């Protein structure tokens, strides 16, 4: 059981939420994820790391840049390339 | 007391929450150099922010057990405490990439042809196994590996 609350959402956000079969679970999962992120940030700051909004933007960009090419790859392409190198070595 | 044969509803293996296929994807792998940069706070490239962003995106950071133990061994005081903190985050997991004979063959190949130190072999293998992005302070040492995405920390 939980607490029943009434909230107001922008129309576009509400339209997205209403397509979910379990809207409460959908919203709860998003908020839990946000809570987790906030907990991690607070813990890191408490441990002495300086977290900045500019740094978060830069980190987001680094992740996006690093991950984008992977969408064009076959799964485990790196392992396949590694094993091919082994095959080349042992057959020459 | 469980019956000798588990009914499906009683068998944890049948719980979707225990199905590895439902685990969040591994987005980043940290090698030993990245761990030490994070813990010593010597990197100017946003390692803390990377940890936060991966949490926000719902992906997991994997650390090779070998590298984590090595980092703990080399650290004391606040540096050691920050490594311990990292291990407590729910989206951070320790993994051993060598669990099968094929894994052992892959690691042996990395250590005999690419790397001179064990840590990088474990870290690269883990990243390749999961098509994850490797975070390191020594990008050049991974340069000969095809299909390996790397984020380099600078000091």
Question: Who has greater pLDDT, A85 or A33?
Answer: A33
CA–CA min distance B5, chain A (Å): 33
Q: Which of the residues in chain B have pLDDT under 50?
A: 1-9
> How are strands ordered across the β-sheet holding B60-64?
B92-95, B60-64, B26-30, B133-136, B150-152
Chain B interface test: which of A62, A64, A89 (most B C-beta within 10 Å): A62
Q: pLDDT at position B1, please?
A: 38
Structure tokens at B32: 């030993």
Give one DSSP letter per residue of A13-71, joined into a string.
Answer: HHHHHHTSSSHHHHHHHHHHHHHHHHHHHHHHHHTT----HHHHHHHHHHHHHHHGGGG
B41 in contact with chain A, both atoms CB, cutoff 8 A:
yes
Q: Are the Cβ atoms of B56 and A48 closer than 8 angstroms?
A: no
Is the Cα dihedral B67, B134, A82, B19 positive or negative? positive
Interface of A with B (CB under 8 A): 33-34, 36-37, 40-41, 43-44, 47-52, 55-56, 58-60, 62-63, 66-67, 69-70, 73, 75-79, 81-83, 85-86, 89
Q: pLDDT at position B144, please?
A: 86
Residue of B nearest to A72 (CA): B147
Question: Who has greater pLDDT, B23 or A19?
Answer: A19
Structure tokens at B56: 């926000």
Bridge partners of residue B135, in order along the sequence? B30, B151
Q: pLDDT at position B17, please?
A: 52
Q: pLDDT at position B153, please?
A: 86
Average pLDDT on A19-38 reads 93
Average pLDDT on A76-90 reads 76
Closest to B52 in 3D by CA, of A65, A31, A58, A25: A58
Closest to A80 in 3D by CA, of B146, B54, B50: B146
Indicate whether A44 pLDDT > 90.
yes
Chain A interface test: which of B56, B83, B120 (most A C-beta within 10 Å): B56
Q: pLDDT at position B102, please?
A: 94
Q: pLDDT at position B93, please?
A: 96
Average pLDDT on A68-89 reads 68
């Amino acid at each position: 059981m939980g607490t029943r609350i009434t909230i107001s959402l922008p129309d576009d956000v509400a339209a997205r939420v209403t397509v979910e079969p379990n809207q409460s679970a959908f919203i709860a999962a998003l908020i839990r994820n946000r809570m987790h992120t906030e907990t991690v940030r607070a813990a890191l700051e408490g441990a002495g790391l300086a977290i900045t909004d500019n740094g978060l933007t830069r980190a987001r960009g680094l992740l996006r840049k690093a991950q984008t090419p992977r969408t064009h790859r076959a799964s485990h392409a790196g392992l396949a390339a590694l094993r091919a190198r082994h095959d080349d070595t042992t057959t020459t | 007391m469980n019956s000798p044969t588990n009914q499906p509803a009683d068998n944890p293996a049948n719980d979707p929450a225990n199905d590895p296929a439902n685990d969040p994807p591994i987005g980043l792998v940290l090698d030993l150099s990245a761990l030490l940069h994070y813990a010593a706070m010597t990197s100017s490239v946003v390692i803390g922010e990377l940890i936060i962003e991966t949490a926000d995106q719902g992906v997991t950071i994997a650390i090779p057990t070998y590298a984590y133990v090595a980092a703990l061994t080399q650290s004391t005081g606040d540096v050691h405490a920050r490594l311990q903190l990292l291990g407590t985050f729910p989206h951070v997991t320790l993994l051993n990439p060598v669990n099968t004979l094929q894994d052992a063959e892959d690691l042996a190949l990395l250590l005999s042809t690419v790397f001179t130190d064990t840590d990088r072999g474990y870290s690269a293998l883990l990243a390749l196994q999961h098509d994850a992005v490797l975070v390191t302070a020594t990008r050049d040492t991974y340069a000969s590996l095809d299909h390996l995405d790397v984020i380099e920390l600078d000091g």
